[in-house]
Amino acid sequence: MYKLLIVLFLVLFTQKIVAQADTTSLAECKDSCIRKEAPILFFDCSICDQQFYRQNINYVNFVRDRRLADVYILLTANQTGGGSTTYNLYFQGSKRFASMMDTFTYNAPANAASLDVKQGILDAMKKGLLPYILKTPLADELTYEVKTNGKNANPEKIKDKWNFWTFNLNTNGYGNGNSYSSDMGISANINANRTTEKSKTETGGWYFRNRQRFKVDDTTTITGKQSNAGAYHLMVYSVGKHFGIGHFSTYFTSLQQNLKNSTSYYPGIEYNVFPYDQATRRQLRFIYRIGGRYQDYYERTIYNNTHQWFALHAFVVQYSQIEKWGSVDVSAGGFHYLNFPSNYNASIYPSVNFNPAKGLRIGLWAGLTMVNDQFFLSAAGATPEEILLNQKQLQTDYNYNFGFNINYTFGSIYNNIINVRFNLNDSYW
């Protein structure tokens, strides 16, 4: 009898342990399964603080490559006429979320604090992820509320006392130096802008001045100065979904370019193959301008002139496209002088960023300008000091630049954990 009671106790105790283990296993499995079935997200934004968004949306799986994701988010930014910035978040699903796509927008006011911008983008991202979350087991963990004060919105249209005009004033100063050199500078600009669907007006000006000093030895000190200033006015009218017409006038003065006064005026027309409401994702624009320019020079030029008139026209082609696989930007165009038929200035600037394989991102860019219009070159030439300090432009037939970036990442596909300990963001290692 005693042995029978012991056996019965052991059987009951073992069943309880197994039941507890099964309950724990089921709970762990539930949590693991929910996380495993959560949306797998790739956030395409090279200028964003990715850590901030991973930390605040910790219920999805961030991955390091778009090919591993089933939710792809692309962020683009465009400045509005009022100085604010519109951030568009394009959501595109694949695999189990195939055919799902949407766009959410956050409008950041001019000079908005960085944290406010991050929070605005975060809120838009959370709203955009909701339809994807509802198709996963995470939906059972979801709660929400709609905040309202119960009052009806004012049906009257908002009246803008500024009539859509915005104004911006900005100034910057800098300086650095040591026992043998110094570099000081100041710049300022001002602009006024009015943008509506029917027209755009912008007027502004700027000023820049720089002074450099180099002590070669106890008896020799080289100093150099650069300065330029200018003003501009732009007026554009919308003509349907693809055309724009307008005019552009400028004033410019520069010691470096031997220009005491350069004044230009150009009427122009533009055609965009794609409707302008798609401009944040793709553009193919053809622009033609024709006008005149008058220039006064500080020093007599190599062509023995102290001033000149020019009749000239310009043609520009600009193409840009942002897609899931990457982006392409190409700008090409040039000036041609009608009263100096053999003179011109032509350039092309292509760039491409793409993701050709899992974990691989490649960026390529270049620029080439063919120069045949340096009417402003001084007949006096430039001293070695002026050349070294870039105080005068020299004669050239071309300018070019190029670059590339290749980045390859492999290993764990998940990118959810935040750990900021010993970040290598100082210079004392």
How many domains in the chain? Answer: 3
The reply to whether 33 falls in a domain is: no
Residue 25: band (very low, low, confident or very high) from pLDDT cuts 50, 70, 90? very low
CATH number at residue 78: 3.30.160
DSSP 350: E
Q: Where are the beta strands (DSSP E) in 45-180?
A: 61-62, 71-79, 85-93, 101-108, 165-177
- What is the model's pLDDT at position 14? 53
Please give the backbone phi and psi of residue 10, each rounded to the nearest 5 degrees, phi first.
-65, -40
Provide the 3-class DSSP secondary structure of residue 335.
Answer: strand
418-429: per-residue pLDDT in tens? 555 665 555 555
The reply to whether 428 falls in a domain is: no
Does residue 312 register a pLDDT over 90?
A: yes
Query: What span, in angstroms and rounded, lies between the C-alpha atoms of 387 and 67?
Result: 50
Query: What span, in angstroms and rounded, lies between the C-alpha atoms of 284 and 287?
Result: 10
The residue ranking higher by pLDDT, 10 or 284, is 284
Q: Are residues 110 and 85 in the same domain?
A: yes
146-157: per-residue pLDDT in tens? 776 655 444 345
The residue ranking higher by pLDDT, 65 or 283, is 283
Q: Tell me if 37 sits within 8 A of 136, measured CB to CB.
A: yes
- What is the model's pLDDT at position 315? 93
The alpha-helical segments, DSSP class H, found in 59-215 are: 114-133
Provide the 3-class DSSP secondary structure of residue 59.
Answer: coil
DSSP 301: B
Q: What is the mean pLDDT of residues 294-299?
A: 94
Listed residue (216, 209, 217, 150) closest to 184, CA to CA: 209
Q: Are residues 299 and 391 in the same domain?
A: yes
CATH number at residue 282: 2.40.160
Provide the 3-class DSSP secondary structure of residue 21.
Answer: helix
Q: Are residues 3 and 129 in the same domain?
A: no
Q: Which residues of 401-425 are buried (b: 16+ CB within 10 A; e: fewer)?
A: eeeeeeeeeeeebebbeeeeeeeee
Please give the backbone phi and psi of residue 409, each rounded to the nearest 5 degrees, phi first.
-125, 135
Residue 24: band (very low, low, confident or very high) from pLDDT cuts 50, 70, 90? very low
Q: Are residues 58 and 96 in the same domain?
A: yes
- Give the angle subtended at the CA of 21 by the CAs of 18 and 27, to the nearest 5°: 145
What spatial distance separates the first Cα and last Cα of the chain, rounded to whole Å? 76
The reply to whether 401 falls in a domain is: yes
- What is the model's pLDDT at position 22? 47
Q: What is the mean pLDDT of residues 187-203?
A: 90
Q: Are residues 124 and 186 in the same domain?
A: no
Q: Are residues 8 and 47 in the same domain?
A: no
Which residues, including other chains, have CB under 8 Å from residue 106's CB and lie 6 or more apart? 86, 87, 89, 120, 121, 123, 124
The reply to whether 306 falls in a domain is: yes
Q: Are residues 9 and 44 in the same domain?
A: no
Residue 273: band (very low, low, confident or very high) from pLDDT cuts 50, 70, 90? very high
Q: Are residues 228 and 95 in the same domain?
A: no
pTM over 0.85: no
Among residues of the chain, what percentage have pLDDT more than 70?
85
Does residue 122 register a pLDDT over 70?
A: yes
Query: What span, in angstroms and rounded, lies between the C-alpha atoms of 422 and 415?
Result: 18
Q: Are residues 236 and 312 in the same domain?
A: yes
Residue 32: band (very low, low, confident or very high) from pLDDT cuts 50, 70, 90? low
The reply to whether 75 falls in a domain is: yes
Q: What is the mean pLDDT of residues 122-140?
A: 90
The reply to whether 148 falls in a domain is: no
Q: What is the mean pLDDT of residues 181-194?
A: 93
Q: In terms of residue numbers, what domain contains 101?
A: 38-141
The reply to whether 427 falls in a domain is: no
Q: Are residues 213 and 192 in the same domain?
A: yes
339-369: per-residue pLDDT in tens? 999 999 999 999 998 888 877 889 999 999 9
63-73: per-residue pLDDT in tens? 878 888 899 99
Which of 224-228, 258-262, 324-328, 387-391 is predicted least confidently? 387-391
Q: Are residues 230 and 332 in the same domain?
A: yes
Q: Are residues 13 and 51 in the same domain?
A: no
Q: What is the mean pLDDT of residues 181-199?
A: 91
Query: What span, in angstroms and rounded, lies between the C-alpha atoms of 196 and 80?
Result: 10
The reply to whether 202 falls in a domain is: yes
